[in-house]
């Protein structure tokens, strides 16, 4: 690999002479152009070099103005030639990486033989700085940056990058070995966002693991406190509200959590987002890679649509094909790509590859670990299953006893301070012997204690899974990797660990402040060792995993409104890493005719078409006809899958059960694809059977299947049953963190498919799971009261509800005041029903102090099925309201109101509606060429809006929403003041306008402007008029969509439709479906 000469770049930047003639000509064109320029100016060679240097450095816009002032308009033809050649040359030169700092030192390899294994050893080698990189210091930066750094100078890697980070806003990719301080590049990038003093901006830091997110948040909070920047943690372990996200300056999130956040309609961050930092970009090759590709492509689309720059900074270990990753991130290789070789490691690394028989891998790995411990070195012992961490840790304890390995008193003293704080008894016993375990199944509190103990020297060995290598920065002198086989849930078999994963683990060896070198050991079978030894010498490019996730991600883009046609999908795929690698390695993606289709047009088109067909098959999309080919629209099923992060296989499983009449939600959720990685181990069967005997919904069979295990573990979490087996504890953590999300998705699907019986079972189970009580528990158990004797006494007294506790409070003196304080927060409400213009209005008065947000579900059950509305009760709110349209088919009905996630809050009422059709005045205006050219549409909308007290306007495109909003604020009187700093939504609200561009607005007004599919229903909002602005092809609003929104009209309201193509067919279908309205036509030509 070539190496850029740092001294030459420095000379060129300073304007010194000696610039190579060939390089200059690349930026000015051929000699005839240069000669023409010299003849006009009469410059000598030195003056010409200075001018050419300026031409090279300036942007094209600045260059054109400069040449015009220098040469005058009489030489405009020469100026145009120079600019054209400069643009062409810039494209050519800009593709060449310039910042490649890598030297391949001669590796010293030796072979050693022992009784039970053989070793291949790559000795640690140190390389001097031959790159001529001048050390930078924080004091050399602008004053704003200096307070964030408490050390005197940056290391070599940071020094090479720091000026590009702080001096430009271009995208970056920094590839450097583990432990070289890449996090400091992220800190500088974040400070760059806020150096202007604008605190309305946001930066997002995406880290691969929840453990690393927690560590980063605590560190960044300390470093940014002096800047008054709020840092927010955003992971699956933390519940993050829209208010918290809008109030944060720096958001640290896992890829999956940030993907979910950008899907939510109630969170709009496009205008404030200025930076996305992606740590460990080499995760692209893993099963989580498609999420990273989705995040980047979504950000790129946002930049293209809004024309607002969002900087992307990628941080990665050493990548084989870093140029491909740079292209994917939108990085200019000539200025934004930085690659650093292994010589930049803070401590040199020696690598040992131990080859032995497969049955001795564990024995040899333990022996290597013991060897390091005997030398008083700390060791990270990596294994690949959670269960094996406990097994290895116990075998190390026995070895310590057998070999009588002593430890320093300071280690034991450090442990005694924290051992009692650990939750799990097995872990306490291991820690007492100086051995810790670490994996994702351990509670976060225990993980934090173990990490702190190891960092302070309180533990000799930490047995862990690979998540530690991707997560917490916890180096040790030595790293031992036991085996390379990991479970592949997709294949259902064991696979070899990826070479990049091995490199990441090896990177944890060596502590810069203590060690002169680090030691990394890999123990595996003979053939496996040879494979990894050769692979580390010749690293293969990382490939994309996006092809297997196309359908899931296509649904997300369809719901988000980014993709509606096949050509849209093709352009979306062109922004992925898969497309970049597909062009270079087509066979890896099943493409055999790459020469005939170099831009992959046919392949991408076929991929998108297959994706849409799959979505149609799963009822997640519907197809309509439009100009330029079929147009696709998301269904409610697709929206549910997007909102709750469901895989398409899970959607298929749920739909089969919902449409097949299955009523058991526990059984349905346990079959979700998300749990496929779980297996039943022989060591777990006995305890699973014991737990099953204590469960409320006891299983008679399937205990040895994945479904049975998930069902039992979900109930164990619900009923707070103790679990002893370590592997079950790990799986329990995984099940409990995903079960509620999947159950809520099933509830929404049941409501959407009108399965009231299943929906009710889901609601009850979700409440049980949320409050962790059985369905027959006393209501007080939901608020933390678990005194069995007191509850038995209450039952004997006939006190079975929260209201009865209040009514007979004088008889409940044994219920503490603390519990009464909890009861005051137990959701309760009174309900009143009324009818207005064929609408059943459900009003609620909340009889408790809401200190958090609650969701009340309101069901209208009738002969034709049932419908649902939701009332969001925000903190401190005392009333709520929603409504249902009462059509002719709805006779006597039942209204059911209950609080989501709480048992015993249900209120049930019977209601008989009055029979009366709704009068609607309909006017249809064709969208002709004359209408479009004269702007008649916008004028007529403004006229209709001004003539009504309340009106809703639906648009077929988002751009039309803001165009009409800008016209309206020039015609409407202001109803409230706003400041110059207010955002656009607040400005509109001051004129009584609400914009439903993405999610529910917080500024309701009498005029509502809404993009198609932004909201399904206005709930309790009624309008005097509704206006529909159809698309040119007439496919923007199907008749059923218009009829659905007409439910929000008052009796005698008006509907205006600006209709595109296919007017007569559309009207015929519309009239045939509007039998429940009294339509009065007022068409205008």
Q: Please tell me the class of the 351-537 domain.
A: alpha beta
Query: With a threshold of 0.85, does the pTM exceed it?
Result: no
Query: What is the CATH number assigned to the segment(s) 554-641?
Result: 1.10.10.10
Check residue 857 and give its pLDDT.
Answer: 93
Check residue 2 and give its pLDDT.
Answer: 31
Span 804-833, pLDDT tens digits = 777 766 666 666 666 676 677 788 888 888
Please spell the DSSP secondary structure of 588-645, one letter per residue.
Answer: GGT---TTT-TT-HHHHHHHHHHHHHHHHHTTSEEEEEETTEEEEEE-HHHHHHHHTT
Q: Which residue has the tokens 């000699």?
A: 31
Confidence of residue 640 (pLDDT cuts 50, 70, 90): very high
Per CATH, which fold does 918-1081 belong to? Rossmann fold (3.40.50)
Q: How far is CA 460 from CA 377, 402, 409, 446, in A?
A: 7, 16, 12, 17
Bridging pattern class, strands 839-846 and 879-885: antiparallel
Query: What is the CATH number assigned to the segment(s) 138-344?
Result: 3.40.50.300
The answer, yes or no, to whether residue 492 has pLDDT greater than 70, is no
Rounded distance between C-alpha atoms, residue 161 and residue 462, angstroms: 34
Span 163-222, pLDDT tens digits = 999 989 999 999 988 778 889 999 999 999 999 888 889 999 999 888 788 888 988 999
Check residue 244 and give its pLDDT.
Answer: 86
Q: How far is CA 809 from CA 131, 798, 816, 822, 829, in A?
A: 80, 13, 11, 14, 19
Check residue 892 and give its pLDDT.
Answer: 82
**Would you mind telling me the total number of residues written for the chain in this entry?**
1085
* Selected residue with higher pLDDT from 1057 and 631: 631
Token output for 977: 């003041």
Rounded distance between C-alpha atoms, residue 393 and residue 382, angstroms: 11
* Selected residue with higher pLDDT from 844 and 178: 844
For the CA atoms of 77, 78, 79, 83, the dihedral, rounded to the nearest 10 degrees, stands at: 100
* Selected residue with higher pLDDT from 636 and 865: 636
Confidence of residue 16 (pLDDT cuts 50, 70, 90): very low
Q: Which residue has the tokens 């929603």?
A: 882
> Nearest to residue 346, comparing CAs of 475, 161, 166?
475
Buried b (16+ CB within 10 A) or exposed e, 398-420: eebeeeebeeeeebeebbeebbe
Check residue 29 and give its pLDDT.
Answer: 39
Sheet-wide strand order for 99-101: 99-101, 337-340, 172-175, 311-316, 273-278, 202-206, 250-253, 231-234
Q: How far is CA 215 from CA 220, 439, 543, in A?
A: 9, 15, 30
How large a percentage of the chain has pLDDT more than 90? 24
Confidence of residue 679 (pLDDT cuts 50, 70, 90): confident
Buried b (16+ CB within 10 A) or exposed e, 514-543: ebebbbbbbbbbeebbeebbebbeeeebbb
The answer, yes or no, to whether residue 429 has pLDDT greater than 90, is no
Determine contact, residues 158/101, Cβ cutoff 8 Å: no
Determine contact, residues 902/782, Cβ cutoff 8 Å: yes
In the predicted model, what is the mean pLDDT of residues 224-250?
A: 86
Check residue 1000 and give its pLDDT.
Answer: 42
DSSP lists the bridge partners of residue 955 as: 1011, 1029
Span 940-972, pLDDT tens digits = 667 766 667 778 888 776 667 777 777 777 777
Check residue 936 and give its pLDDT.
Answer: 67
In the predicted model, what is the mean pLDDT of residues 660-674?
A: 91
Token output for 451: 């990490």
| Strand runs labelled E in 128-201 | 172-175
Q: Which CATH superfamily is domain 647-776 in?
A: Sec63 N-terminal domain-like domain (1.10.3380.10)
* Selected residue with higher pLDDT from 178 and 601: 601
Check residue 11 and give its pLDDT.
Answer: 34
Span 31-85, pLDDT tens digits = 455 566 666 666 655 556 556 655 655 555 566 667 777 777 777 777 777 776 6
Determine contact, residues 484/438, Cβ cutoff 8 Å: no
* Selected residue with higher pLDDT from 543 and 913: 543
Span 362-382, pLDDT tens digits = 899 999 999 998 888 899 999
Give ranges for CATH 1.10.10.10 in the chain.
Answer: 554-641
In the predicted model, what is the mean pLDDT of residues 317-336?
A: 88
- How distant is the alpha carbon of residue 1080 from its chain centre? 49
Between 1063-1073 and 1039-1046, two packed helices, what is the crossing angle to 10 degrees?
50
Other beta carbons less than 10 A from residue 776's beta carbon: 9
Span 546-582, pLDDT tens digits = 999 999 999 999 998 889 899 999 999 999 999 999 9
Rounded distance between C-alpha atoms, residue 329 and residue 1037, angstroms: 37
Check residue 516 and give its pLDDT.
Answer: 79
Give ranges for CATH 1.10.3380.10 in the chain.
Answer: 647-776
Give ranges for CATH 3.40.50.300 in the chain.
Answer: 138-344, 351-537, 918-1081
Q: Which residue has the tokens 């009366």?
A: 916
Q: Which residue has the tokens 């299983």?
A: 699
Q: How far is CA 753 from CA 69, 660, 760, in A?
A: 70, 11, 13
Confidence of residue 9 (pLDDT cuts 50, 70, 90): very low
Bridging pattern class, strands 907-911 and 918-926: unpaired
- How distant is the alpha carbon of residue 49 from its chain centre? 50
| CATH for 829-911 (2.60.40.10, 3.40.50.1220, 3.30.9.30, 3.30.479.10) | 2.60.40.10
Check residue 478 and give its pLDDT.
Answer: 92
The percent helix, strand, coil of the chain (3-state, each to 5) is: 45, 20, 35
| 3-class DSSP state of 63 | helix
């Amino acid at each position: 690999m070539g190496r850029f000469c740092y001294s030459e770049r420095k000379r060129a930047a300073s304007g010194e002479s000696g610039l190579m003639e060939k390089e200059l000509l690349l930026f000015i064109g051929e000699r005839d152009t240069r000669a023409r320029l010299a003849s006009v100016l009469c410059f000598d060679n030195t003056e010409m070099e200075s001018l050419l240097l300026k031409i090279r450095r300036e942007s094209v816009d600045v260059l054109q103005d400069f040449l015009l002032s220098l040469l005058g308009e009489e030489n405009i033809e020469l100026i145009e030639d120079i600019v054209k050649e400069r643009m062409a040359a810039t494209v050519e030169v800009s593709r060449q990486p310039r910042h490649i700092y890598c030297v391949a030192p001669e590796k010293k390899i030796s072979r050693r033989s022992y009784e039970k294994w053989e070793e291949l050893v790559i000795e640690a080698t140190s390389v001097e700085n031959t790159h001529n990189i001048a050390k930078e210091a924080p004091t050399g930066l602008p004053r704003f940056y200096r307070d964030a750094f408490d050390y005197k100078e940056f290391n070599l890697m940071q020094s090479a990058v720091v000026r590009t980070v702080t001096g430009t806003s271009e995208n970056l990719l920094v590839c450097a070995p583990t432990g070289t301080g890449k996090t400091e590049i992220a800190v500088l990038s974040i400070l760059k966002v806020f150096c202007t003093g604008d605190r309305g901006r946001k930066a997002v830091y995406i880290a691969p693991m929840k453990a690393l997110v927690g560590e980063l948040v605590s560190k960044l909070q300390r470093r940014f406190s002096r800047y008054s920047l709020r840092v927010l943690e955003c992971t699956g372990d933390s519940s993050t509200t829209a208010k918290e996200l809008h109030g944060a300056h720096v958001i640290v999130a896992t890829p999956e959590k940030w993907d979910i956040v950008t899907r939510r309609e109630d969170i709009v961050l496009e205008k404030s987002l200025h930076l996305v930092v992606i740590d460990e970009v080499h995760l692209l090759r893993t099963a989580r890679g498609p999420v990273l590709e989705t995040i980047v492509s979504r950000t790129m689309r946002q930049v293209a649509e809004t024309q607002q720059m969002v900087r992307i900074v990628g941080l990665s270990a050493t990548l084989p094909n870093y140029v491909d990753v740079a292209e994917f991130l939108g990085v200019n290789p000539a200025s934004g790509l930085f690659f650093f070789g292994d010589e930049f490691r803070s401590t040199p690394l020696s690598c040992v590859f131990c080859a032995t028989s497969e049955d001795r891998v564990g024995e040899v790995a333990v022996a290597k670990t013991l060897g390091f411990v005997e030398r008083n070195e700390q060791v990270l012992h990596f294994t690949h299953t959670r269960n094996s961490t406990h097994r290895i840790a116990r075998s190390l304890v026995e070895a310590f006893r057998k070999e009588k390995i002593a430890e320093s008193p300071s280690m034991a003293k450090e442990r005694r301070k924290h051992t009692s704080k650990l939750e799990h008894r097995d872990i306490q016993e291991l820690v007492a012997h100086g051995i810790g375990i670490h994996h994702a199944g351990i509670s976060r509190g225990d993980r934090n204690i173990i990490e702190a103990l190891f960092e302070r020297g309180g533990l000799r060995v930490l047995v862990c899974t690979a998540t530690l290598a991707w997560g917490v920065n916890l180096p040790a002198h030595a790293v031992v990797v036991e085996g390379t086989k990991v479970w592949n849930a997709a294949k259902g078999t064991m696979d070899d660990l990826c070479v990049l994963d091995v490199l990441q683990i090896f990177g944890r060896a060596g502590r810069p402040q203590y060690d002169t070198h680090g030691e990394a050991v890999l123990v595996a079978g003979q053939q496996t060792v040879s494979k990894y030894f050769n692979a580390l010498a010749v690293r293969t490019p990382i490939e994309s995993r996006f092809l297997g996730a196309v359908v899931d991600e296509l649904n997300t883009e369809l719901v988000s409104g980014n993709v509606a046609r096949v050509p849209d999908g093709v352009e979306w795929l062109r922004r992925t890493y898969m497309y970049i690698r597909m062009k270079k390695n087509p066979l890896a993606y099943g493409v055999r005719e790459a020469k005939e289709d170099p831009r992959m047009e046919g392949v991408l088109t076929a991929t998108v078409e297959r994706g849409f067909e799959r979505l149609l098959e799963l009822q997640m999309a519907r197809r309509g006809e439009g100009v330029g080919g079929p147009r696709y629209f998301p269904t409610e099923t697709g929206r549910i899958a997007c909102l709750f992060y469901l895989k398409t296989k899970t959607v298929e499983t749920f739909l089969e059960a919902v449409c097949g009449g299955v009523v058991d939600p526990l059984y349905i959720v346990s079959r979700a694809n998300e749990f496929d990685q779980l297996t039943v181990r022989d060591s777990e069967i006995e305890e699973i059977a014991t737990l099953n005997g204590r469960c409320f919904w006891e299983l008679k069979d399937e205990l040895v299947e994945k479904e049975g295990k998930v069902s039992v573990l979900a109930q164990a979490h619900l009923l707070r049953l103790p679990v002893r087996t370590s592997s079950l504890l790990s799986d329990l953590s995984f099940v409990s963190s995903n079960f509620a999300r999947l159950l809520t998705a099933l509830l929404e699907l049941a409501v959407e498919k009108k399965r009231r019986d299943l929906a009710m079972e889901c609601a009850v189970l979700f409440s049980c799971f949320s409050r962790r009580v059985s369905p027959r528990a006393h209501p007080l158990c939901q608020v933390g009261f678990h005194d069995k004797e007191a509850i038995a006494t209450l039952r004997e007294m006939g006190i079975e509800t929260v209201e009865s506790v209040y009514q007979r409070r004088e008889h409940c003196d044994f219920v503490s005041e603390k519990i009464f304080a909890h009861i005051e927060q137990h959701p309760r409400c009174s309900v009143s029903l009324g009818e207005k213009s064929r609408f059943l209005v459900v009003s609620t008065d909340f009889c408790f102090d809401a200190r958090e947000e609650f969701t009340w579900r309101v069901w209208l059950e009738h002969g034709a099925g049932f419908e649902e509305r939701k009332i969001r009760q925000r903190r401190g709110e005392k009333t709520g309201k929603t409504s249902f349209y009462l059509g002719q088919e709805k006779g006597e009905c039942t209204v059911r109101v209950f609080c989501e996630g709480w048992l015993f809050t249900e209120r049930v009422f019977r209601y008989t509606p009055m029979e009366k059709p709704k009068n609607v005045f309909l006017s249809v205006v064709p969208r002709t060429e004359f209408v479009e050219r004269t702007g008649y549409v916008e004028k007529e909308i403004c006229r209709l809006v001004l003539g009504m007290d309340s009106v809703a306007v639906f648009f077929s495109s988002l751009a039309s929403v803001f165009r009409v909003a800008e016209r309206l604020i020039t015609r409407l009187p202001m109803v409230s003041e706003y400041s110059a700093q207010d955002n656009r939504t607040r400005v509109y609200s001051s004129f009584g306008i609400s914009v439903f561009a993405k999610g529910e607005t917080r500024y309701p007004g009498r005029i509502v402007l809404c993009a198609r599919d932004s909201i399904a229903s206005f709930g309790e909002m009624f309008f005097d008029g509704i206006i529909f602005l159809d698309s040119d092809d007439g496919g923007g609003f199907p008749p059923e969509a218009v009829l659905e929104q007409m439910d929000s009209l008052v009796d005698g309201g008006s509907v205006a439709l600006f209709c595109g193509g296919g007017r007569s067919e559309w009207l015929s279908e519309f009239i045939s479906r509007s039998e429940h309205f009294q339509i009065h036509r007022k068409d205008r030509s």
